[in-house]
Structure 1
Amino acid sequence: MRMQRLRFLKFYSSRYYKGKKENDKVQIREEFEELPDELRYLHWHRYPLKSLPSKFNPENLVDLQMHHSNVEHLWNENQYNLEKLRRIDLRHSQHLTEIPNLSGASNLQTIVLNGCSRITKFPKISWNIKELRLSQTVIEEVPSAAIECLNQLVSLELNDCIRLKNLPSNIRNLTSLMELSLQGCSSITQFPDISASVNSLSLGETAVEEVPSSIERLTNLSYLSLEKCMRLRRVSDSIFKLKSLAYVLLSGCSKLNDLPEVLETEGKLRWLYLDRTAIESLPNNICNLKSLSSLDLSGCFGVDKMLEDLPLSSSSGLFSLKELNLCKCNLSTLPSDLSCLSFLESLNVSGNNFESLSLEPFSCLTRLNISHCKRLQSVQEFPVLSRLLDLQAHHCISLETLPTSDLVFTGNWNSQHIFIYYNCLKLDANARVNIMANAQLRIQVMATKAHGTASLEDYLEDNIEGYSVSFCFPGNEIPEWFRHQRRGSAVVIKLPPDWCSTKFLGFALLCCSCIRGL
């Protein structure tokens, strides 16, 4: 209270949690009445009182952030001059019932009230607001009169506002609006009529039943999410006329059984997620989507026929496809036509019914997931092993054999190598030897690559997470090339005096656990 010239005050914890009082390291008395009037920046996680001090004048305040606070109101309805105020962030302040009239805060650009579950009314705010986040509040309407002047608004977030039923028609006049998110607004039944300026629209878990033809007005739309719209039955073919559209997420739309024809082929569509839908066939001209890089069909039954009916070929328009997800599609074999997609970099076929699998055609794979293929007994051919950086094969409980592949260093190594064979308890001795040889060579090549850098500082700067090789597979023996070994939960290694020189890169660590009865 004696720091009258204090301008910056921050009590912050990177690990604050709601309801855990033991994490509150800053305690203040109830008679706390003052903060310096010169304060510009106030950031106080879990602020414990019901309001700001009664004698505090916020006229110099620029930035106010009090996440997970106990405030019920900020200050009395005095007509303070709030022209300096730029940002208010009170997210997860669950006792907050309202915020003061901010219509006079002409420079206020950001308000975040996410998780303020007692806020029932749309705030009174200035025309100059750019970012308004009201997710998980209980507002029932966005008043037409309140929104008509918000011609600078760029981002409006109303996720999980379960009492919100409609948006006012004049939201279409907000020509600066670029991001609208209504995720989880389960009472919203109509596709919103919004400005063509919007480039990101999230309607997941709403009650929308149709994507109308009027969507073709949204010429700037790049991202469209309709995830888990359980009532969605129809998507207009106008959706593929949008040349800016890059991401379409229809995951979990369980009543959607038809995808419209692709009327335009010059668009930028990159991600198409159709997982867990009822779609039975794909339009043939989907192959003309020249920019499509990620296709998710996981959880869709009849995928084998769906893909066989497509005119796939090495010259197919899907030559940009890099990621294909066929998880849990009830497949017993891979569709033969997939062999022409040799340029795939990521393939997920987990949770299927394969007994044997050959992956030789997919020579560009860097990520492969065959986890939970419980009938899989053998993998006959891997893709080019030196390219593979992430292999997930956990819970392949019948897997016995893996191919013998010579690993040749190609010079193109990523920073993270992960190979997981967890709970593959039937792997034979040859498979385990091959896995360990693969691990040893990758560690050696990784160390060689790191050793070739100019300095340890350069190495760490280029690779913030550091190079790493991780393998997990069943076994109970430690190879001899791990020189420091002992039973128990700890090992002591004596480092040489010059261990901190640039030649020291790290450790190769192996933990072996043998549990009887498994």
Structure 2
Amino acid sequence: MGKDIVDQESKYPEKRKRLWNPEDVYRVLINNKGTDRIEGIKFDMSHSDILKLRPTCFESMPNLRYIKFGRIDIDNDIDIAYLPNELKWLQWKCYPFKSLSLNFNPKNLVVLKLSGPNMEQLWNEDFQDLVNLREIDVSFCDKLRKIPNLLGAINLEILNCKFCESLVELPELPKMLNRLNLSSTGIKEVPFSSDLSNILPNELRYLEWNGYPFKSLPLNFNPKNLVVLNLSWGNMEQLWNEDFEEPSTSKDLTVSFVINCKSLKLLSELPSNLKYLDTRRCISLESVSFTDRNFLSFDGERNYAMIFSNCFSLNQDSVDNIEANAMLQIQFLAKKWASRYDHEFSIDPEPNLLYCFPGNKISADRFEYQSRNSSLSFKIATRGSSGRRLLVFAICLVVHLTDHVSVRNLQFVCEYQLLAASGNDGDGGFKKFKSELILGGIAWDCRGDHVFILCGKDMVKEDQDYEEASFQLYINNKREHFKAKK
């Protein structure tokens, strides 16, 4: 309905406030027919031929506030000469020019989203009135050499520079920055006139920097607000100063860390609400510890994974810490699931819990019943007259995946039977259940034996006077089948 109203403003596209019909946009741009009536343009090349844009194609549209362009192919090597200073939203996939206009003042700009191989610089450093700016996304601008001074962008929340391979330095960033992505940039050192702590504000909640070039986060960087941390393929040896408060202590937040750094040696005081940790290939990792806070912050409704595959330098204390943390989480989840068992438990089989670390031993203290193959049976202690009881099963197994390179979409299927005692009504016999845990998107290039600890919400059952349990475990990735050694 809104489009119809705008179309009725005039039969001439250049006299309407907004243009989104590809043919109308094409005619206005190719014939340079823009007017001061136009406030917004949305366009991509899927409906038109190659454009011959003039450097002054927007000069006749001084009130243009919104540009959203898909890929636009141009056949002439030009740079843009004019962008309207009224622009609030500039989004352009495969931006074809080398810069924003040198005379463009971004004082009204709220969102800037550009990608493409031609962009070399943004706006002139003289423009510092950036108070309206909320988001900058220049990902994949691989020729971009510099980000302008952003101290005036006091409300900037998001800066995404991933795959800006020519970007070798950053200015001091606003203190309220919320999300920062510097993955695969050319930044290798901090400028002499700056400090790493100025690049990483303490208010950061999302930090992604694949190829992180420094040995640690700044000593004065407080990670208390972090929700997502991805520092893969860097030179990290230690995360942060141990004196600082643990990340995201709010009960409403869960934290995810991905830290695949070969030189990382220490992970201390990992937060209690860390729901996902991936340290695959941290071959130098020796020490791991967790906070001793209770686990009330984890809501029991999200998948939970602690992956230490190929961390062969882990000392025994760290392995004990990982196992102990797994058991604490299982106990917490069991209580959480039990409290919801009747009214919402059967709706969704998730979440699942997974721990993985190198080793070939299963703790007899933590897993009482053991077997040398993929099947296991044991007696269940009677509940007596204690009333209602829920049974929670957790599985620990040893798997050898060395002969299988980059196993993806690993699936653990546990088929189990519970034998019920015959009651007065004669209702006894086996009841069959099935639990599935699929680990999609992870390349399991585990070398040597690895221990997996698994638990899921569909492995919680109300006790119906069961006397015996038997389990059969299957491991596959739809193409191959694997066997558990224990």
Q: TM-score range by the shorter chain?
A: 0.5 to 0.7
Deviation at 1:218? 6.4
Out of 227, 231, 236, the residue aligned to residue 115 of structure 2 is: 227
1:268 and 1:409 map into 2 onto residues whose CA distance is 35
The answer to whether structure 1 residue 370 and structure 2 residue 259 are counterparts is yes
1:182-241 alpha-carbon deviations (Å, 9 max, x no partner): 44646585448566665432234333212234432662x322122344441453236652
1:180 and 1:465 map into 2 onto residues whose CA distance is 41
- Please tell me whether the aligned partners of residues 190 and 209 of structure 1 are also in contact (alpha carbons under 8 angstroms): yes
For 1:259, give the aligned amino acid: I
Structure 1 stretches of at least 4 aligned residues deviating more than 6 Å after TM superposition: 124-131, 145-150, 159-162, 482-485, 496-500, 508-512
Q: Please, which runs of 5 or more residues in structure 1 have no aligned partner? A: 1-85, 88-104, 110-123
% identical aligned pairs:
17
The answer to whether structure 1 residue 324 and structure 2 residue 207 are counterparts is yes
1:364-385 alpha-carbon deviations (Å, 9 max, x no partner): 16232211x2244x32x42443
RMSD: 4.9
Distance 1:336 1:243, change over 3 A: closer
- Please tell me whether the aligned partners of residues 228 and 254 of structure 1 are also in contact (alpha carbons under 8 angstroms): yes
Q: Which residue of 1 aligns with 2:105?
A: 216
1:425-454 alpha-carbon deviations (Å, 9 max, x no partner): 554554444323322322321232233349
Out of 238, 242, 245, the residue aligned to residue 130 of structure 2 is: 242
Deviation at 1:171? 8.3
For 2:415, give the aligned amino acid: V
Q: Which residue of 1 aligns with 2:323?
A: 436
Distance 1:355 1:206, change over 3 A: same
Q: Which residue of 2 aligns with 1:471?
A: 355
Q: Which residue of 1 aligns with 2:280?
A: 394
Deviation at 1:305? 2.5
Aligned residues: 381
Q: Please, which runs of 5 or more residues in structure 2 have no aligned partner? A: 249-254, 376-411, 421-426, 434-455, 461-470, 476-481
Distance 1:311 1:153, change over 3 A: closer
Q: TM-score, normalised by structure 1?
A: 0.57
Q: Which residue of 2 aligns with 1:272?
A: 159
For 1:326, give the aligned amino acid: W
Distance 1:178 1:451, change over 3 A: farther
**1:324-363 equivalences in 2 (<5 Å):** 324-331=207-214, 333-334=215-216, 336-340=218-222, 342-354=224-236, 360=242, 361=244, 363=246
1:340 and 1:388 map into 2 onto residues whose CA distance is 16
Deviation at 1:133? 7.3
Distance 1:473 1:145, change over 3 A: same
1:103-127 alpha-carbon deviations (Å, 9 max, x no partner): xx95798xxxxxxxxxxxxxx9998
- Please tell me whether the aligned partners of residues 14 and 33 of structure 2 are also in contact (alpha carbons under 8 angstroms): no
1:317 and 1:352 map into 2 onto residues whose CA distance is 16
Q: Which residue of 1 aligns with 2:404?
A: none
Distance 1:337 1:281, change over 3 A: farther
1:400 and 1:262 map into 2 onto residues whose CA distance is 37
SS of match in other structure, 1:180: strand
Distance 1:387 1:145, change over 3 A: same
Distance 1:394 1:141, change over 3 A: farther
Distance 1:263 1:505, change over 3 A: closer
**1:280-299 equivalences in 2 (<5 Å):** 280-284=168-172, 286=173, 289-299=174-184
1:465-496 alpha-carbon deviations (Å, 9 max, x no partner): 95443333344556664969762786432357
SS of match in other structure, 2:201: helix
Out of 433, 450, 458, the residue aligned to residue 506 of structure 1 is: 458
Deviation at 1:409? 1.9
Distance 1:428 1:228, change over 3 A: farther
Distance 1:432 1:236, change over 3 A: same
2:306 and 2:200 map into 1 onto residues whose CA distance is 32
For 1:389, give the aligned amino acid: K
2:200 and 2:360 map into 1 onto residues whose CA distance is 49
Q: Which residue of 2 aligns with 1:408?
A: 293
Distance 1:435 1:162, change over 3 A: farther
SS of match in other structure, 2:136: strand
Distance 1:260 1:131, change over 3 A: closer
- Please tell me whether the aligned partners of residues 13 and 19 of structure 2 are also in contact (alpha carbons under 8 angstroms): no
Out of 92, 97, 103, the residue aligned to residue 203 of structure 1 is: 92
SS of match in other structure, 1:435: helix
1:195 and 1:370 map into 2 onto residues whose CA distance is 43
2:30 and 2:73 map into 1 onto residues whose CA distance is 17
1:317 and 1:394 map into 2 onto residues whose CA distance is 25
- Please tell me whether the aligned partners of residues 259 and 283 of structure 1 are also in contact (alpha carbons under 8 angstroms): yes
- Please tell me whether the aligned partners of residues 72 and 96 of structure 2 are also in contact (alpha carbons under 8 angstroms): no
- Please tell me whether the aligned partners of residues 202 and 222 of structure 2 are also in contact (alpha carbons under 8 angstroms): no
1:450 and 1:307 map into 2 onto residues whose CA distance is 54
